Structure 1
Amino acid sequence: MQNQEPSQLTIKICLLAGKLILQNGGETYRVEDTMNRIAYAYGIESSHSYVTPTGIIFATDGASQITRLVRISERSTNLLKVSMVNDISRKISKGELCAEDAYRQLKDLEEKSYEYRELYKVLAAAAASGCFLIMFDGKWSDFLTVFLIGGVGFLSFLMLHRLVPVKFFAEFLTAIIIGASSSLAVYLGLGGELDKIIIGSVMPLVPGLHITNAVRDLMAGHLVSGLSKGAEAFLTAFAIGAGIATVLSFY
């Protein structure tokens, strides 16, 4: 019984660390590598993990074989949490954290949001939209227009995502709002180049992290996760494109 308890706690630590990484935008291979390293550091010499974007399966070999499954229902992007889990994992590998302290730190990390306020997110999206306008060779005279449309568009996405749980529809409706606002701005003479204004304004919605993770998972040999993340990124891109196309068809 004395040998079983540490194993149970170790498995909880592995699953919690993997869950935090996967929920906050980490790659599949990073989840599996982190879980296996933690298990080995705490005395489980042979362990196996299978990770998909919607679930984690972790199993151990030996006299008392244990298999656990964790379901992942919600995912977001919070790379600070991913970095903090990696830091805890490194301390575990170096023998600087006992199992009880590691589990307590991971639980504290799970309970805290570590997110910026929505006002800061909207301002960051607005500034990014304006910068993307210039990067795509837009005019400085359109910077303020894109700044406002990009901020309003991202704010609309945050509000719509609360009302519409399906992310695809929230992105589609947000793209319609951005397209309509951009067309109206050009019609009123507040903007010059419609295409550059739309491109700059929708960039905060583009699934850059999902595309990057999909490519990295495919390169690491995780075909199921890579294809599923790629499909998720494609749906987001399709929702944005469909929303803009809907507005332009009436423009």
Structure 2
Amino acid sequence: MEEAYTKVKQVPLSSSHLGIVAEVNELSREIEEGLVSIEEASERLRRIDGMPGKKGYFQVLAAGIVSGCFGYLLGASELESVIAFVIGCLLHVWVLTAKKYQMSKMIVNIAGGVIITALALLAYHLPVPGHVKPDGMIIGSIMPLVPGLAFVNAIRDIADSDFLSGTVRMIDALLVFVYIAVGVGITLSIYNNMGGRLML
């Protein structure tokens, strides 16, 4: 009688590399059509696994564009959207630095909320041409931190009756929302307690 072995391995939650997803999908289609052998597929998978992510400057620029565009869509003025673009770029510089030093997700997102709110309040007090309000800048700049893909994947897993995976992903996404809110709330609370009069 053969012995049975059980192995438990932690699979940490991480961000999705959509380039890898696209390559694996293409490879699976080629395998299904009989165009790729097992050995070739194994080699392709090793190459796909080593695919690098986008360059840092590209990610910073993309985060800024997302922040500015979402800010404008959610009611920010043109000037507020431009400031949200700058804040989004600076925010992602922090995110990349935190990833480099392997900081925890909690610290990254709480500090990210603090950075966003502090920079928005700074812009609010700077003598910029035209009146700006922090709410549009904060809402737009938060968007690169929001785990939208993870949240949607969690709903999809639950809908597919994969309750364990879906629940874990859902809790992870909800905790990110909480971390961001804590960072923003702490900064606004300190600002108001220091005598700031802010009308969001």
TM-score by length of 2: 0.86
Name the one with the larger strand percent: 1
Distance 2:13 2:33 in 1: 31
Contact residue 20 and residue 51 of structure 2 kept, 8 A: no
> CA separation in 2, counterparts of 1:234 and 1:74?
13
Alignment pair present for 1:236 and 2:137: no
Retained in 2: the 8 A contact 1:122–1:154? yes
Q: 2:68 aligns with which of 110, 118, 130?
A: 130
- Residues of 2 paired with 1:149 and 1:133: CA distance? 11
**Residues 2-43 of structure 1: per-residue CA shift (max 9 Å, x gap):** xxxxxxxxxxxxxxxxxxxxxxxxxxxxxxxxxxxxxxxxxx
Within a 5 Å distance, the mapping from 1:214-225 to structure 2 comes to: 214-225=154-165
Contact 1:122-1:151 at 8 Å conserved across structures: yes
Q: Give the percent of matched residue pairs that are identical in Structure 1 and Structure 2.
A: 31
**How many pairs does the alignment contain?**
187
What is the aligned partner in structure 2 of residue 82 from structure 1? 21
Question: Take 2:9 and 2:25, find their aligned partners in 1: how far apart are those partners?
Answer: 19
C-alpha contact (below 8 Å) 2:81/2:140 kept by paired residues: no
In 2, are the aligned partners of 1:161 and 1:167 still within 8 Å (CA)?
A: no
Whole-Å separation in 1 of the counterparts to 2:89 and 2:28: 37
Offset, 1:202: 0.9
Check conservation: 1:214, 1:226, Cα contact below 8 A: yes
Larger RCO, structures 1/2 (Cα 8 Å, 6+ apart): 2
Structure 2 match to 1:100? 39
Q: CA deviation at 1:71?
A: 4.5
Partner of 2:90: 152
The verdict on how the C-alpha distance between 1:103 and 1:70 changes in structure 2, with shifts beyond 3 A counting, is farther
**Pair 1:68–1:250, CA change in 2 (3 A):** closer
Cα 1:227/1:245, change in 2 over 3 Å:
same
- Matched to 1:90, the amino acid is R
Q: Residues 66, 95 of structure 1: CA spacing in aligned structure 2 closer, same or farther, 3 A cutoff?
A: farther
State the 1:246 CA deviation: 0.5
The one-letter code of the counterpart of 1:110 is D
Task: Indicate the residue corresponding to 2:194 in structure 1.
Answer: none
SS of residue paired to 1:197: helix
What are structure 1's unaligned runs of at least 5 residues? 1-64
In the TM superposition, what are the counterparts of 1:25-36 in structure 2 within 5 Å?
Answer: none
Deviation at 1:69, TM superposition (A): 6.7
Please point out which of 78, 89, 110 is paired with 1:172: 110
What is the CA-CA distance between 1:179 and the residue it aligns to? 0.8
Shift of 1:93: 1.5
Question: For 1:95 and 1:67, how far apart are their aligned partners in 2?
Answer: 34
Could you tell me how far 1:165 is from its partner in structure 2? 2.5
Deviations 1:145-182 (A, max 9, x none): 11111110111121123335311111111111111111
Gaps of 5+ in 2: 192-200
